[in-house]
């Protein structure tokens, strides 16, 4: 039986991924801050280390599929938590489970980014550089220095962009090791995270106006279906890609950029 590890498994997209993988007959290890097989706080180094230790113990040191789905929305407080969970938490699990993936059967990993990651240019931005340098303290300082009504959005969008870049930068070494790694970038998805954003006075209206050409938000299962497909053996040549599943929003905003 193949083993899959899903972070953010307790709700939203992560819960939908967990269900689909389990229905496909996989041994699924869910990771979340609560209500999971492995309960750990990915916002700090100690929690990340505990998550890795527990996952490796449960999996026997061999993993076939990894989906890094844990994340916080821009409304989370303090905004530094958004940066820590979305980027540093995801990357710690991704890199920390690389050797276990190498021991898996036709292994594949997916990190969940966001179409929000490309709504503004990040090249040369201090936050972008701090993320990719792995400097969590500097990221926190930059987020804390941002205007209060923008800090959450900046932390969210920049962390999701940096996460996609970090994954693509690993394409050469991971591919050479026989481990596929791809990025899925959803748009607005009907999840508890989005509902919390809608209730936020700073970001609620912008989220309500964030309607893609297809005229609706996605359901978690739709995103999970793409993740499940991308991890499958039938697309063994797909590696290092960023796949948007956002109802056409990216195409609407950036029709000439692909």
CA angle 41, 42, 47 (to 5 degrees): 60
Q: Name the token pair of 89.
A: 């938490």
CA distance 114 to 212: 14
* Helix axes of 136-144 and 151-169: crossing angle, nearest 10 degrees: 150
Q: Name the token pair of 186.
A: 């959803």
Phi, psi of 241, rounded to the nearest 5 degrees:
-95, 155
> Which of these is catalytic: 87, 156, 203, 229?
156
CA distance 134 to 94: 14
For the question of residue 229 being annotated catalytic, the response is: no
**CA nearest neighbour of 248 among 240, 238, 258:** 258
Phi, psi of 243, rounded to the nearest 5 degrees:
-110, 120
Q: Which residues are catalytic?
A: 156
């Amino acid at each position: 039986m193949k083993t899959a590890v899903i972070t953010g498994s307790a709700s939203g997209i992560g819960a939908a991924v967990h269900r689909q993988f389990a229905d496909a007959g996989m041994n699924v290890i869910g990771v979340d801050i609560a209500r999971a097989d492995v309960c750990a706080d990915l916002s700090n180094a100690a929690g990340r280390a505990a998550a890795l230790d527990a996952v490796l113990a449960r999996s026997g040191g061999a993993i076939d599929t990894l989906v890094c789905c844990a994340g916080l929305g821009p409304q989370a407080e303090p905004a530094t938590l958004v940066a820590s969970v979305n980027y540093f938490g995801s990357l710690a699990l991704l890199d920390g489970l690389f050797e276990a993936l190498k021991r898996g059967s036709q292994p594949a990993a997916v990190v969940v980014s966001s179409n929000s990651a490309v709504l503004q240019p990040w090249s040369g931005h201090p936050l972008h550089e701090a993320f990719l340098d792995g400097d969590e303290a500097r990221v926190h300082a930059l987020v804390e220095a941002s205007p209060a009504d923008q800090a959450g959005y900046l932390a969210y969008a920049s962390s999701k962009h940096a996460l996609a870049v970090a994954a693509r930068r690993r394409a050469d070494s991971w591919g050479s090791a026989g481990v596929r790694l791809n990025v899925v970038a959803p748009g607005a998805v009907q999840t508890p995270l989005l509902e919390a954003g809608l209730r936020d006075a700073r970001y609620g209206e912008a989220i309500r106006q964030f309607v893609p050409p297809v005229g609706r938000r996605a359901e978690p299962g739709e995103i999970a279906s793409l993740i499940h497909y991308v991890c499958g053996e039938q697309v063994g040549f797909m590696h290092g890609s960023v796949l948007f599943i956002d109802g056409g929003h990216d195409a609407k905003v950036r029709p000439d950029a692909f």
